[in-house]
Amino acid sequence: MSSTYLEVGRGFTPAAAMTRFRILRAYLTEAKYESIRMLRMPSFGIPLLVLPVGLFLLFGVLIFGKSIQGDPDTGKWIFTAFAVMGMMGPGMFGFGVSLAIEREQGLLKLKRALPMPPAAYLVAKLLMALSFGAIIMATMVAALPVGHVHLGAGQVFGMSAINILGTLPFCAIGMFIGTSAAGRSAPAFVNILYQMMMHLSGLFYPLPKVLRAIRPIWPTYHLQQLVLWAAGVASDGRPIVHAAVLAGLTVVLMALSARRLVRVG
C-alpha cells in the first residue's frame, strides 16, 4: 500500500476553493453523464431518437409519399407533426419519468447530501432533453431530401430552433409529473398525457369541430403552429401568442415543481 493513501485533509487549503470553473465543470459533468445514461437505457435512448424520423419515413414517404408530392403544404404539415412529436419524448419520459423514479429510489436524497451544485441535477436533465431534441431534429432534417418537403435553409434553421426550444414545455410537464407522482405511476400518467397531446391536438390529422375548439389547451398545438409558421405554411393564430402560452406554461409548471421539490423532496 502506498504511503499517500488518499491525502485526505491535505486538500483543504484556502486555495482549494470551489472555483467558478469547477462549478461550471460540475454542471457539465452532470449533464454529460445524464445524457450518456439515457442513451444507454434500452427503453429510452435509441427508440426515442429513431422513432420520429422512422415514422416520418414510413408514413410521410413510403405510404403517403406519392400523394404528398402534389401537395407541398401537407408534406410540411406531416413533417412538423413528427418533429413536434419527437420533442415530447425526451422531456416527458427522459426528464419526467426518470425524476419520479430517482426521487423514489433515494438518488435525489444522496445528491442532496453531497455537495452537488443545487441546480445541477435539474439543469442536467434539461440539457439532456435539449440535446436529445437537437439530435432528433437533426435526424428529421436529414430525412428532408427524401421526403419531398422543400424548404429554404432559413426556414429549416428557424423551424429547427423553435422546435428544439419546444422541448422545454414538455420538460416542464415531465418535471411536474415527476415531482408529483410516485415512481411506479409516473410512466402511466406520462403515457396517457403523451397520447392525448398527440391525438387530441390535431397534430397528424384534422379534428372534428368539438375537439378543434379545445385544441389550444394542448402545448403540442401551439408548438406545431409555431413550427408551421417558421416553415412558411399558413397557421392558426398569432405566433407571439403561441410562444407566450408555451413560455408561460413552462415557467409556471417549473416553478410549481421546484417548490414541491424543495419542500417535499
Give me the residues that bind another protein (CB under 8 A), please: 1-2, 5-12, 16-19, 22, 25-26, 29-30, 33, 36-37, 40-41, 102, 105-107, 109-110, 112-118, 265
Please say whether the dihedral angle defined by the alpha carbons of residues 175, 179, 183 and 186, taken in this order, is positive or negative.
negative
Tell me if residue 202 falls in helix, strand or coil.
coil
Q: Which is nearer to another protein, 22 or 150 (CB)?
A: 22
The least CB distance from residue 186 to another protein, in Å, is 15
Output the smallest distance, CB 121 to another protein, in A.
11
User: Smaller CB distance to another protein: residue 67 or 105?
Assistant: 105
H helices of the chain, where?
20-40, 45-55, 65-69, 72-89, 98-104, 107-113, 120-142, 153-165, 167-180, 186-199, 209-213, 219-230, 239-264
- Work out how close the CB of 258 gets to another protein at its nearest, in angstroms, rounded to a whole number: 16
Q: Which is nearer to another protein, 14 or 145 (CB)?
A: 14
Label residues 194-227 b or e (16+ Cβ within 10 Å = b).
beebbebbbbbeebeeeeeeebbebbbbbbbbbb
- Specify the residue, 29 or 195, whose C-beta has the smaller distance to another protein: 29
Task: Give me the least distance between CB of 97 and another protein, in Å please.
Answer: 14
Asked whether 160 and 135 are in contact (CB, 8 A), the reply is: no
- The widest CA-to-CA distance across the chain, in whole angstroms, is 78
Place of cell 436533465: 125
Q: How far is the CB of 117 from another protein (least distance, A)?
A: 7
Nearest distance from C-beta of residue 164 to another protein, angstroms = 24
Residue 118 Cβ vs another protein, minimum distance, rounded to whole Å: 7
Of 1 and 240, which CB lies nearer to another protein in the complex structure? 1
3-state secondary structure of 151: coil
Cβ–Cβ under 8 Å, residues 257 and 178? yes
35 versus 235: smaller Cβ distance to another protein: 35
CA atoms within 13 A on the CB side of 242: 23
Report the residue number, 100 or 172, with the smaller CB distance to another protein: 100
Q: Quick one: CA dihedral 139, 121, 26, 170, positive or negative?
A: positive
Could you give the angle at which helices 186-199 and 167-180 cross, rounded to 10 degrees? 150
